[in-house]
Structure 1
Amino acid sequence: MSADDRFRDLKRGEEGPPRGIRNEVIEGPVADWATDFSHLEPAWAADPYAVQDELRRSCPIARTERFGGGWLPTRYEDVAAIAYDTERFSSRSIIVSNFRPPRELAPVGTVPPISSDPPFHQGARRLLLPAFTRSAVSRYEPSTRAFCHSLIDALEGRDVVDAARDYAQHIPVRVIADMLGFPPEDGPRFREFVESALEGANLPPDERGARMGKLFDYLREQIHDHVARPRDDLTSYLIDAELDGRKLDPSHVVGTMGLLLIAGIDTTWSAIGASLWHLAQAPADRERLVAEPALLPTALEEFLRAYAPVTMARLVKEDMHWNGVDMRADDWVLLSFPAANRDPEQFDRAGEVVIDREPNRHAAFGLGIHRCAGSHLARMELRVALEVWLERLPAFSLADPSAVAWSVGQVRGPRALPLRIG
C-alpha cells in the first residue's frame, strides 16, 4: 500500500475524547496539599519546591480527589520505583486531566512511544533513536546558534527584554519545526497547541478534546503535504518507517508527531528560561560562567536538576496497597522529577544550586523506559542558547521580580521573564 493510500482517509477526528473515564472538574484553592493537591494552582507554579519539601517530610505520598483521584510521591526512591514499574503502572496517558483514555488503548497509547507500555514501547522508541543521537543532533547546532544570534540582534537597544517571550520560547519552536519539516512561520500556532495540551488540563473533557483536535487537524494537514511532497525530515521518515515489518498505522504517525511537537518545545523553552532566571538573580554564578565558559556544560546539568521542568504521569493498573497507601485502579500518579531532584536523601545540598556539582545523576530527563529520547537535542539547545546569551549579553538582572510568571501544569518554566540588560 502506498503512503498516499494509507493516509487517504486520515481526516478530521471526532470532537472530544470518545470513550474512557470522564470526571467532574473540581476547582478552587487547595485546602491541604497532603490531601487535596493540585499542580495547576498558582501557588504551585510560583514555588512548588517549598510544597514538595514539606510533603517529603510529613506526607511523602500525597493524595487528591481532583482529576478523579491521584497521588503525588515526593521522594526520589518512590518516583524511581514507579517509573521503572511497568507491571503495575501504565503510561497510556501521561498528562493528568479529567479524562482517562480507555484501557484498550494500551499498549500503544495516543502519543507513542511515551504513552506506550511494553512490549509495544521498545520498538516504537527504537524507531526514534536514530534521529536523536548526539551526532544526528549536531547537524542542527550551526543553525540553532545562528538563530539565537538573530534573536539577540532583535533585542539591540532595549534596556529591558522579556527573555522568555523574546528569546527562550522561539529556539525550540524553530528547531522542532526544522526537524519535522513544518513551516517556521507556524510558530504561534505551536505555542497555542502547547498551552492547550499542558496548561488546559483542568478543562472539561469535551472542551479539552476540541482544543486538542485543532492540533491533530494541523498534523494531518502536514502529513498530507508530506505524502504529496516527500522530503528529508522527521515527518517523511515516520511516514515511511516500519515496525515489525509493517508501515506505521496513521494514528501512530500522528501521535508521535504530536509528542515531538509538544514535548520538544515546552520542555526546552522552560529549561532555557529557568536557567536565565537563575543567572539573573545569582550574579556570582553568572560572572563565573562568563569568565569560565568551559564550565557551562556542567552548570546546565545543575540547572536541569534544580529546575527540572517536567512532571510525568502514570495510571494505576489495579487496586493495590503500595508503600503505605491504598491506590485504586485508574488513579493518577504524578511522577515529580523536580521533587525527586531535590530529595536530600539523594543529593547533597539538594536545595542549593551548585554550578560545578559533579557527579550529577539527576532525573530531569525522567527515569525508566520513558527516559527522554531527545535529551541530546535538549542539551544542545540549552547549551547553545546560554552560550550565545552570555557571550552577547553578559550582564543582566531581574528587572521586576514580581513580574516573573511561571507556567502551570506538568511542565514548569518562566512565561514572563523581564530582564534588565547591563
Structure 2
Amino acid sequence: MTDTAPVDDWDTDYDIFDPGYVTDPAPVWEELRGKCPIAHTERWGGSYLPTRYDDVQALAKMVPELSSGDPLVTTPPPEIIEELLADPVFEKYGANAAPISEDPPVHGWTRRLLLPHFTVKAVQAHRQYTLDLANSLIDEFIDAGTVDGAGQYAQQIPPRVIAHLMGVDESRVDDFTYWVQCILELGLADIELRLKYRMVIRDYFRDVVEEKQANPDDGFVSALLAGSDDEGEPVDPMRVVGMLNLQLIAGIDTTWSSIGSALWHFGTHLADRERMVAEPELWPSAIEELLRFYSPVTMGRRADEDLEIRGVTIPMGSKVLMNFPGANRDPEVFERPDEVILDRPHNRHIAFGAGIHRCAGSNLARLEMDIALRTWFERIPDFEVSEPEEVTWAGGQVRGPRYLPIRFPSHS
C-alpha cells in the first residue's frame, strides 16, 4: 500500500504524504487545476483528488452515490478489510462515527440528535470554560518568553473543551489526543496502529455509555441515549458509542490544527499580526479567512457506483478525497486566493465541508478559535515564529503545525 518513491507526475501519481505537499500543497493544486483538475493515484490504496471548488461541491452532494462509510483518506489492503469484516461490531456499524460515517437514513437522525448541542446559543455554555482554559495555559509559559505554540497551546484546548462538553474525564486529555493522532495522523500510514486505537476508543466510550445507562444525568451522553431513531425506537447504545467517537476524533485534531495554523500565520506575517492588534474588530472576518486559507480537513468518500465528473470516470469502489482545502484556493471563486486577506468580504469557504456532511460542530470550532486567538493577542500581542525551518506539519487527513516554536518578550 505504501510507496515512498518521489512523485514524477502529480496528475497520475500524487502522494498526499509527500513532504513538500504536506508543507505546502497549494502549488500542486494550482498545477492540477490547469491541466488535470481531478487527479488520480494508486498510492495508499488508490484515490481521486478534485481541485476545483465547483467539483468538490458537486461531489459532496453525490449522496449516496459517494458513500460516507469509509471517511478516512487511505484504504486498507484487502487482508485488513477481511479482518475488519470478521468483527461483528464493524460489520453492523462500520466505522461507527455517526453521522459522518453514515449515509441516509442513519445519517439524518444521528445528526438530528447532535445538532441541538452545537447551535450558536448552545456552544456559549462552554465560553467561560474555554476562556479560563486559554488564560491558564498562557499563565504556564508567559514568563518564559518561548513556547511551542502547537503542543503547549493549540493542542491543549480542543481535547479539554470536548471532554467538558461530553462530561468525560478531563484528566485523560493526553490519552485522547494521542488516540486521535493514531487514527487521523500516524494511523493513516500504519493500518495496524489505526485499528488498535479504533478499538481503544470504542472500548473507552462503551464504558462511558454503560455508566450513563446505569446512572443517567442531564449531560450530553445521557441526552443522546434518551433520543430515538426515525422509527421512534430508542437509540442503540452502540450508535451512541460511535457518536462519541466522532466528537473525539472530529473535535480535537481539526481545531488544534486551525488554531496552530493561525498562530503560525501571525508569527510569520508581521503586518497581519500588527493589524489584528490595531483592529481587533476584524476577528470575525479574520477567523473565516484563516479557516479558508489553512483549511485543515480532507475527507474520504467511496464510490458505490461508477461516477462521471468533468469527463473523468470514477469506478465503483474507488476512494475520492473531498479536497476542501484545495477548493478554498480556487481563483475562479476567491480573488487573490493565495493571500490571506483579513477583511475579505463574501467569504464562501467550505473549510467545514459541504452538503449533508457539513461539520455539525462548526460553531464550537469557531468559538474555540475566537477565544484562543483573542486571548493570545490580548496577553501576547508581540510574538514571532522563532525558528521557521524547524516547524513541522502533519498532513493527510488533517493538516496543521505539530511543532511551532514561538518567542515573545518575557513577562517576568
* TM-score, normalised via structure 1 length: 0.90
Name the CA distance, whole Å, in 2 between partners of 1:344 and 1:400.
31
| Aligned residue number for residue 200 of structure 2 | 214
Aligned sequence identity (%): 46
Q: Is the 8 A contact 1:95 1:201 kept in 2?
A: no
Q: Which whole-Å CA distance do the structure 2 matches of 1:373 and 1:117 have between them?
A: 15
Q: Helix, strand or coil: the match of 1:35?
A: helix
Give secondary structure in 2 for the equivalent of 1:243.
Answer: coil
Equivalent runs, 1:246-285 vs 2, <5 Å: 246-285=233-272
Please give the alpha-carbon distance, in whole angstroms, between the structure 2 residues aligned to 1:138 and 1:106: 36
State the Cα deviation string for residues 10-59 of structure 1 (Å, max 9, x = none). xxxxxxxxxxxxxx444444342221122222222111111111111221
Q: Which residue number corresponds to residue 188 of structure 1?
A: 174
Residue number in structure 2 paired with 1:351: 338
Corresponding letter in the other structure for 1:323:
R
Check 1:159–1:57 CA distance in 2 against 1; reply closer, same or farther (3 A cut). same
Query: Could you list the runs of 5+ residues in structure 1 that have no partner in the other structure?
Result: 1-23
Task: Give CA-to-partner distance per residue, 1:84-103, whole Å, 9 cap, x none.
Answer: 1114211111102232677x
| Separation in 1, partners of 2:91, 2:303 | 15
Cα offsets for 1:191-223 (capped at 9, x unmatched) = 111111111344454443123211212112222
Q: How does 1:1-12 map to 2 (within 5 A)?
A: none
Whether the 8 Å CA contact 2:181–2:187 is kept in 1: the answer is: no
Mapping of 1:410-421 within 5 angstroms? 410-421=397-408
Cα gap change, 1:203 to 1:405, in 2 (>3 Å): closer
Q: Which residue identity does 1:385 align to in structure 2?
A: A
Matching residue of 1:47: 24
Distance (whole Å) between structure 2 residues aligned to residue 179 and residue 397 of structure 1 = 33
Change (3 A) 1:207 1:307: closer
2:317 paired with 1:340: no
Secondary structure at the aligned position of 1:62 is classed as strand
Return 224-233 or 272-281, whichever deviates more. 224-233
RMSD: 1.9
Work out the number of aligned pairs and report it: 398
Equivalents in 2 of 1:319, 1:392: separation in Å? Answer: 54
Contact map agreement 2:297 2:325 (CA 8 A) in 1: yes
1:78 aligned residue: 55
Question: 1:92 and 1:304, CA in 2 relative to 1: closer, same or farther beyond 3 A?
Answer: same
**Judging changes above 3 Å, is the alpha-carbon distance between structure 1 residues 173 and 208 closer, same or farther for their aligned structure 2 residues?**
closer
Cα distance between partner residues in 2 of 1:86 and 1:207: 30
2:113 maps to 1:134: no
Amino acid across the alignment from 2:274: E
Paired letter, 1:270: S
Match of 1:403 in 2: 390
Q: Which residue of 2 aligns with 1:11?
A: none
Write the letter of the residue equivalent to 2:280. Answer: P
Structure 2 counterpart of 1:110? 96
User: Which of 33, 47, 62 is equivalent to 2:39?
Assistant: 62
More deviation, 35-44/123-132: 35-44
Match of 1:237 in 2: 223
Matched-pair contact (CA < 8 Å) for 2:22–2:395: yes
CA distance in 2, matches of 1:109, 1:197: 11
Q: Which residue of 357, 361, 382 corresponds with 1:370?
A: 357
**Secondary structure class of the residue paired with 2:11:** coil
1:157 equivalent among 133, 137, 143: 143
User: Which amino acid in structure 2 is aligned with residue 246 of structure 1?
Assistant: E
Bigger helix share: 2
Cross-structure match for 1:18: none
Letter in 1 for 2:317: D
- One of 200, 206, 212 as aligned partner of 1:226: 212
Q: Please list, as runs of the form range in 1=range in 2, the aligned pairs for 1:273-312 lying within 5 A after superposition.
A: 273-312=260-299
CA apart distance, 1:414: 0.8
Q: 1:394 and 1:267, CA in 2 relative to 1: closer, same or farther beyond 3 A?
A: same
User: Residues of 1 paired with 2:105 and 2:202: CA distance?
Assistant: 26
Q: Structure 2 length normalisation: TM-score?
A: 0.92
- 2:366 alignment partner AA: R
| C-alpha distance in structure 2 between counterparts of 1:359 and 1:108, whole Å | 38
For 1:105-132, what per-residue CA distance to the aligned partner results, in whole angstroms no more than 9, with x for missing partners?
Answer: 6998521111111232221111111000
Q: Which residue of 1 aligns with 2:108?
A: 122
Select the residue among 51, 67, 70 that pairs with 1:93. 70
Q: Which amino acid aligns with 2:73?
A: V
Contact 1:215–1:258 at 8 Å: present in 2 too?
A: yes
Q: Secondary structure at the match of 2:114?
A: helix
1:279 alignment partner AA: F
- Retained in 2: the 8 A contact 1:201–1:409? no
The 8 Å contact of residues 310 and 411 in structure 1, kept in 2 or not, is answered as yes
1:139 is paired with a residue whose SS is: helix
**Cα pair distance change 1:180/1:107, threshold 3 Å:** closer
